[in-house]
Amino acid sequence: MGLDELTKCLREVADWLSRSKVAKGIVVAHFDADGICSSVMMAQLLRKLGISTALWCVERLAPSNLGIFASSPYDLLAFVDVGSPEFDTIARHCSSRNKRVLVLDHHIPPKPAKQEVSSKAVHVNPWAFGVDGCREVCASSLVYALTKVVDKEAVALSPLAVVGAVADGQDGRCRLEGFNRDALSDAMDAGLVSVEEDAKLLGRETYTALEVLSRSHPFLPGLTGNREACEKLLTDLGVSGSTLWKHVSKNMRKRIVEAAQRFVQGEIGVEVAACLWGEVYTLLNESEGYMTRDAKEYGFLLNACGRQGHFELGIEVCRGDRDRAYSEAVNVFEDDREILFYGVEKVLESIVEERFLRYYTLPSVIPTSMMGAINYMIATSRLSPDKPLVSFVREAGGLRVSIHCDPQLADRGLDVSKAVQTLVSRFGGTGGSLREYGGALLSGGTKKDVIEVLSAVFGRQFDEVLGAAYSGSKTRDA
Ligand SMILES: [Mn+2]
């Protein structure tokens, strides 16, 4: 068990791929930054192995798309950053059609993870090796580790692995670990990425000091969206808000972050506040003034492309386009931020308080693909620090449920993945999750049914793991 065993397994996978003798493959990935980065690396690897490769990103694997992929003209279906929860179904669909399947995912599998390297279908997931797929391995660093086994020039891709890891929030404990750290070390040794200390806020490369605070991610209560408060904080320190963040001296940047930490004290978790300053990653081959120069900004750019329906722009950016695709991607990012802030505001108005959870139904003016991002923003803003946040939207395929829980609650034992598994087994459908967040598309059940089941599951978790004293005792007006 552990990272060494996982590496050994990747060697077997590389062998399996080299022996597979297939001509045409397709890479199917999650549409977020980690999915986009890992898919670009995977496609490049397959091409190196002489497999002509198409690339597609999905919001999630619905049973309907599984059928479509299985009956597609490709001999090899490679799923990255998706597929663990659906592995059995995928393998069944494909074995009858004599196709090969490879799944490289880090989401918690629905049942105790087991590793499968059969002649036709291969499933690799860090959890099966006792490796934490929320902290040590993301899809990008997993695919990068596989690429390294096969390709001597893989190191050129190491910055993408770092971007994927940061975008998936795997640097949330202030630094990268496991495979993510290995990719970072490779990138540093090759002079592709430098590590320094700075604000772990969005916009280090392209935002002004005012924007870093007022458009911040994570959300800083009282500062994010409040230009006046941000102006005042900066003026008190003698900094002009219109100065680019990176042109502010390092000493002053630190002082601004410390002032922001004091400002939000008590409003956000102690650990979250501490991590507002820490390790950040600069992609040294990228030109200054581009979002691609900072790993976090790069990841946010790709995330926006994916959920706004333009994953192809993200792919072109990953492949090196800094011209047309890049500028279009930046436009998509700007629109995405606007919709996101608007969505957060709308959602906060419609949250309903239950004993063990809060929930809302996505207002119809917000695109459904934004739901995860809105929840992530709310969860990382600590606007629901004591209970999981559940959101609903009715879609053609059924009822879509998304659940986010505060990182500190997850650290203390609350587990969203168990809740998602219960929903899927009770109401049918598909789901995927990590400890802190997850989602499902349920074929049966109403909103009321789901709230009932989730209240029971989370109620039990609160009692068993966090102690009865904690359960529902803290309420907060939403
Ligand atoms: Mn991922």
Distance 309 CA to ligand 1 centre (A): 18
The predicted pLDDT at position 115 comes to 64
Distance 395 CA to ligand 1 centre (A): 23
Distance 186 CA to ligand 1 centre (A): 20
Distance 302 CA to ligand 1 centre (A): 13
Q: Which two tokens stand for residue 372?
A: 């995860």
Contact by Cβ (8 Å): 155, 144? no
Distance 348 CA to ligand 1 centre (A): 26
Distance 81 CA to ligand 1 centre (A): 5
Distance 249 CA to ligand 1 centre (A): 34
Quick one: fold of 3-189?
A: inorganic pyrophosphatase (n-terminal core) (3.90.1640)
Contact by Cβ (8 Å): 32, 303? yes
Distance 164 CA to ligand 1 centre (A): 7
Distance 74 CA to ligand 1 centre (A): 24
What are the residue boundaries of the structural domains of the chain, listed by start? 3-189, 193-344, 350-470
Total Cβ atoms within 10 A of residue 121: 20
Distance 106 CA to ligand 1 centre (A): 7
What's the pLDDT tens digit per position in 366-418?
888 888 888 888 877 667 888 999 999 998 889 999 999 887 788 888 999 99
The predicted pLDDT at position 171 comes to 86
Distance 248 CA to ligand 1 centre (A): 33
Distance 192 CA to ligand 1 centre (A): 22
Distance 474 CA to ligand 1 centre (A): 32
Distance 80 CA to ligand 1 centre (A): 8
Q: Which two tokens stand for residue 56?
A: 């597609």
Provide the residue-wise pLDDT of the chain in tens; the chain has 478 residues: 899 999 999 999 999 999 988 999 999 999 999 999 999 999 999 999 999 999 999 988 877 778 888 888 999 999 999 999 888 888 888 887 889 999 999 998 766 556 666 678 999 999 999 999 989 999 999 999 999 999 989 999 999 999 999 999 898 777 899 999 999 999 999 999 999 999 999 999 999 999 999 998 888 888 988 899 999 999 999 999 999 999 999 999 999 999 999 999 877 777 778 889 999 999 999 999 999 999 999 999 999 999 999 999 999 999 999 999 999 999 999 999 989 888 888 888 899 999 999 999 999 888 888 888 888 888 776 678 889 999 999 988 899 999 998 877 888 889 999 999 999 999 999 888 888 888 899 999 999 999 999 999 999 999 887 764 454 434 333 3
The predicted pLDDT at position 224 comes to 87
Distance 168 CA to ligand 1 centre (A): 6
- Long-range contacts, 319-325 (Cβ 8 Å, 24+): 319/40, 322/286, 322/287, 322/290, 322/292
Distance 251 CA to ligand 1 centre (A): 34
Cα 343 off chain centre by: 19
Distance 139 CA to ligand 1 centre (A): 5
Please choose, from the candidates 396, 465, 406, 357, the residue with its C-alpha nearest in 3D space to the C-alpha of residue 63.
Answer: 396
Distance 196 CA to ligand 1 centre (A): 24
Q: Which two tokens stand for residue 9?
A: 């397994």
Distance 373 CA to ligand 1 centre (A): 14
Instruction: Report how far residue 326's alpha carbon sits from residue 323's, in angstroms, rounded to the nearest whole number.
Output: 5
Distance 240 CA to ligand 1 centre (A): 37
Cα dihedral 239, 245, 248, 252, rounded to 10, equals 70
**117 vs 102, 103, 367, 391, CA distance in Å?**
9, 10, 39, 37
Distance 171 CA to ligand 1 centre (A): 13
Distance 36 CA to ligand 1 centre (A): 9
Distance 137 CA to ligand 1 centre (A): 9
The predicted pLDDT at position 46 comes to 96
The predicted pLDDT at position 478 comes to 33
Distance 124 CA to ligand 1 centre (A): 14
Distance 239 CA to ligand 1 centre (A): 37
Contact by Cβ (8 Å): 417, 401? no
Please choose, from the candidates 292, 326, 300, the residue with its C-alpha nearest in 3D space to the C-alpha of residue 312.
Answer: 326
**350 vs 299, 339, 345, 440, 478, CA distance in Å?**
29, 17, 9, 21, 8
CATH 1.10.3720.10 is held by the domain 350-470: no
Distance 82 CA to ligand 1 centre (A): 8
What's the pLDDT tens digit per position in 159-185?
999 999 999 989 877 789 999 999 999
- Which residues are placed with Cβ below 5 angstroms of ligand 1, an ion? 34, 81, 138-139, 168
What's the pLDDT tens digit per position in 429-472?
988 888 888 889 999 999 999 999 999 999 999 988 776 445 44
Query: Based on the number of CB atoms within 10 Å of its own CB, is 397 exposed (0-12), middle (13-18) or buried (19 or more)?
Result: middle
The predicted pLDDT at position 156 comes to 97
Distance 142 CA to ligand 1 centre (A): 10
